[in-house]
Structure 1
Amino acid sequence: MSMSSPHSLPMWVIFSLFFNLNFLSANNNITLFGDAYFRNNSISLTQELAPCLSPSSPSSPSFSPFFGIGRAFYVNPIRFLDPFINTTSSFSCSFTFSTIPSPLCSPGDGMAFLISPHAADSFFSDAIGNIGLPRPALTVQDSFFAVEFDTSFDPLLGDVNGNHVGIDINTAVSIAAVDVVPRGIDLRNGREITAWIEYRHAMRMVRVWVGYSSIRPPNPLLVAQIDLSNVLKEFMFVGFSGSNGQGSAVHIVDKWRFKTFQPSLVSIDTFEGDCFICSSEDSAIGSHRKNRLHGRKLKLGEIALGLGGLVAFVFSILVIFAVMSFILIKKRKLVDKTRMESLACRIQPNRMPTRLSLADIKSATMGFDQNRVVGEGASAMVYKGSLPFGGEVAVKRFQRGNGVDSLHNPFTNEFATMVGCLRHKNLVQLRGWCCEGSELVLVYEYMSNGSLDKILHKKTNSAIVLSWKQRLNIVLGVASALAYLHEECERQIIHRDVKTCNIMLDAEFNAKLGDFGLAEVYEHSTNTRDATIPAGTMGYLAPEYVYSGVPTAKTDVYSFGVVVLEVATGRRPVDEGGTVLVDWAWELWEKGKLIEAADAGLKGKTSLKEMERMLILGLACVHPDHVQRPTVKESARILRREAPLPLLPAKKPRLRLRPVLPNDFEEVMSYLDGEHTSPYESPFFTPKSNFS
């Protein structure tokens, strides 16, 4: 492919652009800057320094402003914005790289995939630690996008450590970054690593995968909600940058695949790029295809010349048009049939969630018919739907006011959590999603018995009364789901909104936890938690979460404890008279009458000891001191009588706040048994405000 100027691009490039070059001839298609050079069948962005000298030191024999820094760009700028429809392109790329550090020096700065408005050296920073990225953008025209693979720790840039992946917009300070060590990745060990980067403009989402295998991992390493429409200009340069800074390493790029397209015109379900830097076998295949295409063109030319005149030529065009029309009609019928079969396959249980069209969604819900509404929340409306060959589904339509430009809107948070394919029998399964125009929709499996809240508190027309066995099974199911989120997932997930409204029941009354709009995802290896505005629902919030704003697994345990009490008593967390369920249950415990809290409809239908066991467990989970609460896994063992009942104090302890993360700061308070008081004590009352 040869392009002398941006304006000489063929029209099809506006809609779909991909590279397919043989690396052996890439010298004519890749421009190198600084220390970058061609190395066998790859590009080396930097050179090993011997001895180790700071590139900013004038004592270096080869000192220059860009010594120790290298870049490689595709020679022609790439179109990312179609001026005719004013739409920003989506793109995907994958590349194999390795960082080989010098045994005598510290590792270099690292390398980055870069989309830049300029390729000239004068546009870039010569500062140590910037991975050869451009200077901070001072104008909109200088905006750039980069995904950095950082191998040095620079606290001035806010680095999380010296082995991380980050997303940079207009500056070397990452707007999102993640430590790769918990994923078993070491960017500095010299092994070949493959990275996959995707930007889907319809979702305003960047996702990054990293792994040692050539097969993309199922879960992305980094997901960030970013709108690149203000960053990507009509034409920009695509390539890589790397630098050594105070250290020394060779940063190598071996293979590179890159593709852009307009999501409005090309399906985003097929994110497969073609080779940019390929092996000789790939090149041979590409040449063979090119020769076949050239042969076809010659045959068509011979046919056209043999027609012998304008009339014959026009006649042939009409014949060709008729034949093509017939073929297209047949093909369309085949495509429609294939699409229906594909849709049937895609929405089967235990399959990966997939994107559905808005037409599919409207057809399933009869145009979002109000008669199909089965639930309503603060941010979304839920419709009962039916998809071809897929049975009944629950269609969750998010309000337009929660636009995709917001980093923490419920759709984005729930989608980013669920798209990791959370698979557990007690979690509501995501079947598909739709992000088209202003519509944001998630499609879940349909739960025929609705929410636990509706049945427990008689909000439905049917007179369903849950038996003790069903209630015990529901509590155990929720405990199993939370144990999976807290301890068994690749990353720990704090739900933050465990309540009966978000516990769905299938036809056999098995519990499935849903609604991850407030969920937080953390690495298991770190105790770092950011304080936030408490989010959740009145009556379910743990006291330390209300005061600190720091969510933990134990704050989920508190909410779970409220659900346990709710299931055992049949009462709401806060009744119409303002009585708080937790406080009421503690009062009965102090009087030795806890069994009186059990649902009156169950008395005489089950063992009093079993009912009391569940009530005691509920109180243990809502203990004012989070340290005293059991884990959900321990709670399940207690309910199954595999572990002894927890010991409760004779009276409800008064709350004295203690740090929820003791590794971060000293413990300054502790809970009391109610017999002592101090000016710093205050009794705990469930918050009266709703933080939803």
Structure 2
Amino acid sequence: MASFPISRYSFFVVFLVFSFVTLAVSLDLSFSLKRFDKGRNFDSKVALFGDAEVVDGGSSVKITRSSVSSAGRIIYRKPIRFIGGERRKPMSFSTYFSFSISPEDGDGLAFVVLPTGFPSDLFDGSSFGLTPGLEKRGTRVLAVEFDTSMDTKLGDPNGNHVGIDLGSLVSAQVKNVSSINLVLNSGRKLHSWIDYDASTKILEVRLSKSGAVRPSVPLISYRIDLSDMWKEEEVFVGMSSSSGNSSQTTSIYSWSFSLRTVPRWLHSQPADPLVYTEPSKPPIIQKKGSCLLRILAGLIFGTGCGALAAFIVMFVWTISVNRRQSVVPVEYPVHPVEFAYEKIKVFVQKPTKDGNK
């Protein structure tokens, strides 16, 4: 019987389906800075404020100097929104950066999401350089702090923790970094991943030492709706640091960021569907260029789906044909069958007439 390599075809089917799902997730904004070489490309993407400066030929950005009350900030120039597209879909984001903090007891580092009206060039040398304008912006400031100082007034558990701040330096959720055997201000390079899933409204923070893989379990997992927090307001993303009353220095070695729209059919259902139900809108007159792009995108997507459907049909047909060819009719041996018979003698007695003996 001929064998049929089903596993090979199954792999291609899975690969094609995965490719279409991946293409359906559109990247609205993404950048990756593995170096910080000063130049036109760098200046058009990133802005440095305060004491932040490019050092070591572009291999890193030192946000704070080795002096008391030093503060700095690195901000991506292009603003983003957490509600995007014509259908006003919630946006997800992922960011990764590698950094180091010197052993002094300064304020540490914070990944920040700031409204466009936040004074990016104003510092006071404390609290990650975020104090000016923080209280005025209320809860519309998000910071993931990598804090190396303990302030009992802010509820800090120790001088080695990660916290999520919402419009206040009092963390909404905090986690001791010592629980994963790491020290933030060890002077060694660390890696952090911060991911926000718009479908589940979950913000996750991961942390590892240099050379380690991305942890499967997040250090912090916090539920928050960023699309409701900022609506359609534009915000900036970046990192901010201050040395406080020490000479602590903070350096960034690489930074990547991606903002993406996830199709509605990939979303899990929200806890309260009525909150996210889109109101009916009047018809929108599309521009000619937008219509052409939509038609082209529809043709490409339709062609891809048709090709995938044809492949699946041929795959199933090929399997059925091979199964038919593999079926061999069963032959039964023919043997002569002997039948036994016997001779039967029949005697007929003639009737006698009456009176004759």
Matches within 5 A, 1:163-312: 163-212=160-209, 213-232=211-230, 233-264=232-263
Matched, 1:45 2:54: no
Q: 2:29 — aligned with what? A: 17
- Secondary structure at the aligned position of 2:43 is classed as helix
Are 1:329 and 2:306 matched, yes or no? yes
Other structure's SS at 2:306 match: helix
Distance in 1 (alpha carbons) for counterparts of 2:312 and 2:105: 53
Describe the shift of the 1:220–1:14 C-alpha distance in structure 2 as closer, same or farther (beyond 3 A): closer
Does structure 1 retain, via aligned residues, the 8 Å contact 2:32–2:257?
no
Q: Which amino acid aligns with 1:36?
A: A
Question: Alpha-carbon deviation of 1:326?
Answer: 5.0
Unaligned runs of 5+ in 1: 1-11, 56-67, 270-320, 339-692
- Describe the shift of the 1:326–1:200 C-alpha distance in structure 2 as closer, same or farther (beyond 3 A): closer
Q: Distance in 2 between matches of 1:337 and 1:224?
A: 47
Structure with more of its chain in strand, by fraction: 2
SS at 1:77 equivalent: coil
Structure 1 position 153 matched with structure 2 position 153: no
Partner SS for 1:89: strand
Supply the distance in 2 between the matched residues of 1:228 and 1:71 (Cα, whole angstroms): 22
Residue ranges of structure 2 left out of the alignment (5+ in a row)? 1-23, 269-297, 316-357
Contact 1:99 1:191 in 2 (8 A): yes
Change (3 A) 1:107 1:335: farther
Q: Deviations over 1:265-321 (max 9, x none)?
A: 59689xxxxxxxxxxxxxxxxxxxxxxxxxxxxxxxxxxxxxxxxxxxxxxxxxxx9
Distance 1:246 1:88, change over 3 A: same
Distance 1:20 1:164, change over 3 A: closer
Are residue 81 (structure 1) and residue 58 (structure 2) matched? no
Distance 1:98 1:264, change over 3 A: same
Please give the secondary structure, in 2, of the residue aligned with 1:237: strand
Q: Percent identity of the aligned residues?
A: 33
Shift of 1:234: 3.3
What whole-Å deviation, never above 9, does each CA across 1:383-416 have from its counterpart, x for those lacking one? xxxxxxxxxxxxxxxxxxxxxxxxxxxxxxxxxx
Identify the structure with bigger relative contact order (alpha carbons < 8 Å, sequence gap 6+). 2
CA distance in structure 2 between the aligned counterparts of 1:218 and 1:138, rounded to whole angstroms: 37
CA shift in 2, pair 1:234/1:214, >3 Å: farther
- The alpha-carbon distance between structure 1 residues 151 and 325, as it changes in their structure 2 partners (threshold 3 A), is closer
Alignment partner, residue 360 of structure 1: none
Q: Which residue of 107, 111, 114 maps to 2:105?
A: 107
**Which structure 2 residues correspond to residues 640-655 of structure 1 after superposition, within 5 A?**
none
**CA–CA separation in structure 2 for the residues paired with 1:265 and 1:334:** 26
Do the aligned residues in 1 keep the contact of 2:74 with 2:239 (CA within 8 Å)?
yes
RMSD: 3.4
Shift of 1:156: 1.2
Whole-Å Cα distance in 2 between the matches of residues 138 and 77 of structure 1?
Answer: 20
> What TM-score do the two structures reach when normalised by structure 2?
0.63
**Alignment partner, residue 46 of structure 2:** 30
Write the distance in 2 (CA, Å) between the matches of 1:97 and 1:225: 26
| Aligned length, in residue pairs | 255
Which amino acid letter does the alignment assign opposite residue 36 of structure 2?
Answer: F
Mark the CA change 1:325 to 1:100 in structure 2 (over 3 Å): closer, same or farther.
Answer: same
8 Å contact from structure 1 (residues 145, 231) kept in 2: no
The 1:35/1:322 distance shift into structure 2, 3 A limit, reads: closer
Provide the rounded CA distance (Å) in 1 between the counterparts of 2:99 and 2:28: 25
Q: How far apart, in 1, do the equivalents of 2:242 and 2:314 lie?
A: 53
Q: 1:159-193: per-residue Cα shift (whole Å, max 9, x none)?
A: 11100000011111110000011211100111110
- Contact 1:82/1:88, CA 8 A, preserved across alignment: yes
Give the whole-Å Cα distance in 2 for the aligned partners of 1:71 and 1:322: 45
Out of 93, 96, 99, which is 1:97 matched to?
99
User: What is the TM-score of this pair, normalised by structure 1?
Assistant: 0.34
Question: In 1, distance between residues paired with 2:100 and 2:255?
Answer: 13
* Residues 380-419 of structure 1 aligned to structure 2 (within 5 Å): none
Deviations 1:503-557 (A, max 9, x none): xxxxxxxxxxxxxxxxxxxxxxxxxxxxxxxxxxxxxxxxxxxxxxxxxxxxxxx
